[in-house]
Amino acid sequence: MLPALAGLLLLAVVAPALPGWTIFLLSMAFAKALVVLGLVLLLRGGLVSFGHGMYYAAGAYAVGFAMKLLGIREALLLSAMGLAAGALLASVLGLLLARHRGLFFAMLNLAFSMILYAILLKFYWVTGGTDGMGVRQATFAGLLPSVAFLRLAYFYLTLGIAVVAFSLAHRVAGSPTGYLIRAARDNEVRVAYMGASVPQTIYRTYVLSGALGGLGGSLSALNVGHIVPELSYWTQSGEFVFVALLGGYGHVLGPLAGSIVFELVRNYAYKFSPYTWQLSLGAILLVIILFLPGGLWSLFERAVRWRTRWAFSSRPRI
Amino acid sequence: MGVLLETANLTKYFGLVKAADDLTVRVQDGELVGIVGPNGSGKTTFLNLITGYVPPTRGSIRYRGRDITGLPPQTVTALGIARSFQIPQLYTGLTVLENMLVALATRAGRSRDFWRPLRDNRRTEEAVQILGQFGFKDEIGQAVASLAEGERKLLDVALSFALKPTLLLLDEPTSGVSAKDKFEVMDTLVGVLKGTGVTTAFVEHDIDVVRRYAERMLVFEEGKVIADGAPEILLADPAMKGVILGTG
């Protein structure tokens, strides 16, 4: 965790020297990584959600409505509202979803996300329909950054929140709840005969996952400045699952690695083959699944293992 | 010595099959009871009924005077009844130590905790100590998937024991273990349990194991308890021996 934090700190230092498109790309990668992180917490419990676009959209629209209806413009407050929207929605849907596993869990999430998509699309007099909603510039501690610094300000906001969220998620993963969700994946019967409740463990993890989804959506809305119903569409949810597999879910930093690589690959794939970029992404996922079933994060783990082995073998023998 | 567990007219049907037939059994505090009988005689069903794995068709179960009939496993466990399984129920994706740490955290009521770390010094110390009692030393960092069958059985029992139950139900703790290792496994188990005062009932096929370790024996046949008494007395009867071995 510490080397990753050092890397992010270095990124924060060099950020002002990076081109604007890179800053935007990284901001979006961090925002989406939060949604994927939520997904990964569930994946560690053997639960796949094909509907996390729903929480992404809930967070984004919470920002849109807070600006439009309540006149709130403070970036941190808006992010908190996105998080709360995701948590609230997940706490309601989780009551039903925590009872389901496997395909049913995955498809029910998808169904709910498509219901939200239809609501966002059809209630156009409230949501703006297919046109979506514009998100105005946010303020930082009451100050409105100049246009030249706005992108950088959003980047630091997103980076800061991502660092806090990933550190907290790392802590959760090492807590009894974090282990119990893994235990539940392995053996629900044993969890029950330990005196713990599997549905409650799944419910708590699901709410946390929804909150992260909402947080990611709110940051994405602030960065892009516009929100559309497609945020809740199944292809968006599929993209999050794709990134989760790409990054790997053996560690909470997997989503971060996956999200950054995904945004970079998509960017360059689109640049070099604008009509077949999905083909390139598909090929990459195929290669990852075949050769790196643990995702990109497993490369890092392998490197650490090799280093440890090398350190032992190069030690002088007495 | 009071009555710890009492079942009255406990009956369970699976479709048309009567797996438990009017079982009325009393287990006293501190007893070590062996449950024997041929395959399909209802031994495991009896354990499943007590621990809430399946609800009874009729009848009642009282534990320390409290009616626990039909309560879910989670509640039954919280009341002080722990069990192990014929096929060890472990967290195969976790290490031996992590399995034990999860058990200890749950026992301490920390299963909802998502802030404090699972691996704290005190919990790890206790986990290592309990695992040591069951003979786990070098294996504690190993993935459960790499353990031998006997070790899995022991770990399954160790997880139940770690919950500090008042009543421990063991389902065939030596099945799948070689004839040579059976007594070693049972010696370890009984050695740990001795002095703790934990009332224990274990299902067993091997009558030599029951003869050596049980203080009292319940003989099951076709869902009924057909004999209840001291093993040395019951096993002296060749007809009873035949029933237990399924040859009578």
In CATH, what number is assigned to the domain containing residue B212? 3.40.50.300
User: Which domain-ending residue is among B125, B148, B164?
Assistant: B164
pLDDT tens-digit readout, A185-197 = 999 999 999 999 9
Rg (CA), chain B: 18
Contact A204 B114 (CB under 8 A): yes
The DSSP annotation for A4-68 comes to HHHHHHHHHHHGGGS-HHHHHHHHHHHHHHHHHHHHHHHHTTT---S-THHHHHHHHHHHHHHHH
The domain at A20-313 falls in which architecture? Orthogonal Bundle (1.10)
Q: Which of the pair, A305 or A30, is modelled with greater confidence?
A: A30
User: Which domain-ending residue is among B135, B164, B193?
Assistant: B164
- Together in a domain, B56 and B106: no
Q: Write down the domain spans for chain A.
A: 20-313
- Contact residues on chain B for A180, CB-CB shorter than 8 A: 102, 105-106, 111
Contact with chain B for residue A174, Cβ under 8 A: yes
- Considering only CB atoms, A176 lies closest to which of B93, B111, B163, namely B111
- Together in a domain, B218 and B151: no
Give the pLDDT confidence score for residue B244 in this predicted structure.
Answer: 76
Cβ A228 vs Cβ A130: under 8 Å? yes
Rg (CA), chain A: 20
Give the pLDDT confidence score for residue B47 in this predicted structure.
Answer: 96
- Contact residues on chain B for A204, CB-CB shorter than 8 A: 112, 114
Give the pLDDT confidence score for residue B235 in this predicted structure.
Answer: 87
Contact A176 B105 (CB under 8 A): yes
Contact with chain B for residue A182, Cβ under 8 A: yes
Contact with chain B for residue A273, Cβ under 8 A: no
pLDDT tens-digit readout, A51-101 = 999 999 999 999 999 999 999 999 999 999 999 999 999 999 999 999 999
Give the pLDDT confidence score for residue A234 in this predicted structure.
Answer: 96
> B53, B74, B77, B163: which to substitute to probe chain A, counting the most A Cβ within 10 Å?
B74
- Together in a domain, B152 and B208: no
In terms of Cβ atoms closer than 10 Å to its own Cβ (0-12, 13-18, 19+), residue B52 is buried
Contact A187 B89 (CB under 8 A): yes
- Together in a domain, B92 and B210: no
Residue A166 pLDDT grade (very low, low, confident, very high; cuts 50, 70, 90)? very high
- Together in a domain, B189 and B243: yes
CA B240 – CA B227 distance, rounded (Å): 8
Contact B89 A190 (CB under 8 A): yes
Nearest C-alpha of chain B: how many angstroms from A314? Answer: 24
Contact A185 B93 (CB under 8 A): yes
Nearest C-alpha of chain B: how many angstroms from A165? Answer: 13
- Considering only CB atoms, A175 lies closest to which of B72, B107, B117, namely B117
Q: What is the pTM of this model?
A: 0.90
- Together in a domain, B112 and B43: no
**Paired tokens of B29:** 């505090």
Q: Which residues contact A90 (CB under 8 A, 6 or more apart)?
A: A55, A206, A207, A209, A210, A211, A213
**Least confident among A29-38, A125-134, A248-257:** A248-257
Q: Which helix (H) or strand (E) holds A274?
A: none
Give the pLDDT confidence score for residue B57 in this predicted structure.
Answer: 96
Q: What is the CA B115 to chain-centroid distance, rounded?
A: 33
Residues A32/A38/A41/A47 CA torsion (nearest 10 deg): -100
Give the pLDDT confidence score for residue A33 in this predicted structure.
Answer: 97
Contact with chain A for residue B206, Cβ under 8 A: no
Secondary-structure breakdown of chain B: helix, strand, coil percentages, each rounded to the nearest 5: 40, 25, 35
User: Domains in chain B: how many in total?
Assistant: 2
Short-list B183, B191, B246, B240, CA closest to B210: B183
Give the pLDDT confidence score for residue A317 in this predicted structure.
Answer: 57
Contact with chain A for residue B93, Cβ under 8 A: yes
CA B168 – CA B178 distance, rounded (Å): 23
User: Which domain-ending residue is among B164, B187, B215?
Assistant: B164
Instruction: Name the residue in chain A with its Cα closest to that of B94.
Output: A183
Contact with chain A for residue B192, Cβ under 8 A: no
- Contact residues on chain B for A171, CB-CB shorter than 8 A: 114-115, 117
Cβ A177 vs Cβ B106: under 8 Å? no
> B50, B76, B91: which to substitute to probe chain A, counting the most A Cβ within 10 Å?
B91
Cβ A5 vs Cβ A163: under 8 Å? yes
- Together in a domain, B76 and B183: yes
Contact with chain A for residue B87, Cβ under 8 A: no
Average pLDDT over residues A241-263: 92
- Together in a domain, B137 and B176: no
pLDDT tens-digit readout, B26-42 = 999 999 999 999 988 99
Range of the domain at B193: 1-80+165-248
- Together in a domain, B17 and B72: yes
- Together in a domain, B123 and B160: yes
Contact with chain A for residue B120, Cβ under 8 A: no
- Considering only CB atoms, A190 lies closest to which of B90, B111, B118, namely B90
Contact with chain B for residue A292, Cβ under 8 A: no
- Low pLDDT (below 50) residues in chain B: none
Q: Give CA angle at A283 (A281, A287), nearest 5°.
A: 115
